[in-house]
Each structure stands twice: as C-alpha cells, then as structure tokens.
Amino acid sequence: MSASVTPQRVVLTIPAEAWDARRASVWLESSARAQDVPAEQIVRLDHCLDEVLANVVKHGGPTALASAVQLEFCVVRGQDICAAELLVVDAGMPFDPCARPNGLKPMATCLAEADPGGLGLRMLRSFSDDLSYHRTNDRNHLTIRVRWSEAT
Amino acid sequence: MALRYKDVNNDVRHIYLSGRLDTVGSENIATEFAALAGSEKHGVVVHLSDVTFLSSMGIRALIAAAKAQQAKGGRLVVHVRGSDVVIRTLEATGVDALIPMFDDENEAERAVLA
C-alpha cells in the first residue's frame, strides 16, 4: 500500500482484497476530515466506497484480484456548494453502475419476494449525489460525488 | 463488530449487534448470526442501535434471517434507536418495508409475539 498527498488530491493504492477495504475507509475518513468535509458526507462516501470495493473483490474477476485498486480523493469548493469526489480505478470486468439509471429492480413488497441482489447498487445510488463512469486502458474509472452547502 | 444474544424464554431471542457492519464485518458474523437468528423458530429482535455502519452485506444477512424465521413460522424485527445512518440505510434499500422496525424495545418484543 502506498499513499501520497498533495494539497488538493490524495491518492491511495491498495490490493484488491476484502480486508484492505477497512484500510481504505480509514484513509478516506482521515483525508476527508483533513479537508473539513462534514461528518455526514464522509459517512455517505464511506458507504459508497465499501460497496464499490466489495463489488470489485466479489465480481471483478481474476484481473481485478491480480491488480491494485487506486483511490483518489479531492474536495472541490464552490461559492455555495462543495463537493467531495472519490475516484475508484480497478482492473476488473467492465461494470458501469450508472448504466440504466432507472434499471434497478423494483423493491420487494413482501419478505417472501425479497431478493438481496442489487442492494449494493441501490445503496451506492442512494448515498451518492452523482456517479460518473468510464473505462480506459482496461480499467473501470468510477467517480462518486457527494455535495453539501457550506452554509449548513 | 460484536454480536451477543439473550434468550428471554423459549419464544423470544434478542440479538445485539454493535460496531461496523461493513462488508468485512458482516462476513465475520454471518455464520453465527444466521445460526442464532434463523436456525430455530423464535421471535427474534435484532438490535442495531449500536451499529455505526451497515453495508448491503449486513442487510442481506438480516433479510436471509427474516425469511428463515418466516419459513419456520417465527418472526424477526429490528430495534433501532438513534442511529440515523442505519435507519437511512434500511430505508434506502427498502428493508424497512419488509422487516418491521421499532424504536421502542418493548414494542419490538411485543411484535415478535403477536
């Protein structure tokens, strides 16, 4: 694992292994706190990070597990609105969580019909304000954004 | 992540979860939780007030246990009070519509006996 810090952007590289999600979470929290991101927004990003890394490990396939995952974090402060951005780059199978924005399975209406599949994607969309995805050099690039007003 | 339980009698079991139920934490307790919450017919109250993080893996464990109880004729409910992030997660995933949630422990216990 290696980390480097610039005034604007923090980078962490981790193995694609389940336990490293914990280290990534600690890194995210400390990085966000250092840039005065509100606790509520850190919690939102943390949930997104956990779901994305779990997806890479469980569904990314052999190429994902054989390659490092790169995380980049930065904060963009506007006049009224601020955004924290987390970029996750992995070498797993192509997976665009932004695809079919209305394509989530309907929520079950009773326990007997409940299917746990798709919960992670639903959480990712719920906890983020914006997701953007592209695939470059055989790697998934997913940017997760949460926004807040400095006035609050 | 910690898990403990208390049997009130043969009918009601309380399971107390605390700490971080992220993907790793959920996997660590999955087997024990499934055995405690779903292996025998009970009224099961799962306490989540001291959970600081709830992942989709943790929610899967809840749903699986609730379904197992339902299949046996039992019932599983959630007691959560004061943990906004857990409540938000349960609502975002629609689990609040599948598994009854209570902020009062006595009401939760009454519900599993109903």
Please give the order of strands across the beta sheet that includes A2-5. Answer: A2-5, A9-15, A68-77, A81-90, A139-149, A130-136
Taking a contact as any Cβ pair under 8 Å apart, which residues of chain B between 71 and 110 contact chain A?
Answer: 85, 89, 92-94, 97-99
For residues A20 and A87, give the distance between their C-alpha atoms in angstroms, rounded to a whole number: 16
In the predicted structure, residue B70 carries a pLDDT above the cut 60: yes
Q: In this complex, do B99 and A116 lie within 8 Å of one another by their Cβ atoms? A: no
Which one, of B79, B26, B27, lies nearest residue B54 by Cα? B26
Q: How does DSSP classify residue B96?
A: G
- Kind plus residue range of the DSSP H or E element containing B43: strand B43-54
> Where residue A13 falls among pLDDT bands split at 50, 70, 90?
very high
In the prediction, which pLDDT does A100 show? 65
List residues in chain A touching B: CB distance below 8 A: 18-19, 21-22, 25, 43, 46-47, 50-51, 53-54, 107-112, 114, 116, 119-120, 122-123, 126-127
For the segment B30-43, what is each residue's pLDDT rounded down to a tens digit? Answer: 999 999 998 887 89
Q: Is the pLDDT of residue A24 over 50?
A: yes
Q: Could you give the CA distance from residue B55 to residue A54 in angstroms, rounded to a whole number?
A: 10
Least confident of A8-12, A135-139, B48-52: A8-12
Q: For strands B43-54 and B75-79, give the pairing.
A: parallel
pTM: 0.91
Mean pLDDT of chain A: 89
Residue A7 has pLDDT above 60, yes or no: no
Q: How far apart are the first and last CA of chain A?
A: 36
> What's the whole-number mean pLDDT along residues A86-91?
98
Among residues of chain A, what percentage have pLDDT more than 90? 71
Half-sphere exposure for A29 (CA within 13 Å, toward CB)? 11
CA count, 13 A, side-chain hemisphere, A85:
17
| Per-residue confidence (pLDDT) for residue A101, from 0 to 100 | 60
Q: Inspect the interface and report whether the beta carbons of A119 and B70 lie closer than 8 Å.
A: no
Chain-chain contact of A109 with B85 (C-beta, under 8 angstroms): no
pLDDT on residue A96: 93
Q: What is the pLDDT of residues A102-143, one digit of tens each?
A: 556 667 778 888 876 788 998 999 999 999 999 999 999 999
Contacts of B97 in chain A (CB under 8 A): 107-109
More confident residue, A59 or A106: A59
Strands (E), A46-123: 68-77, 81-90
Q: Closest Cα to residue B81, out of B54, B50, B46, B112?
A: B50
Residues 6+ apart with CB under 8 A from B66: A111, B38, B76, B98, B99
Closest residue in B to A121 (Cα–Cα): B56
Q: Average of pLDDT values for A140-152?
A: 90
d(CA B53, CA A126): 15
* Span A51-70, average pLDDT: 95
The pLDDT value given to residue A1: 52
**Greatest pairwise CA separation for chain B in angstroms:** 35
Mean pLDDT, to the nearest integer, of B72-90? 93
pLDDT given at position A150: 82
Report the amino acid identity of residue A32. A
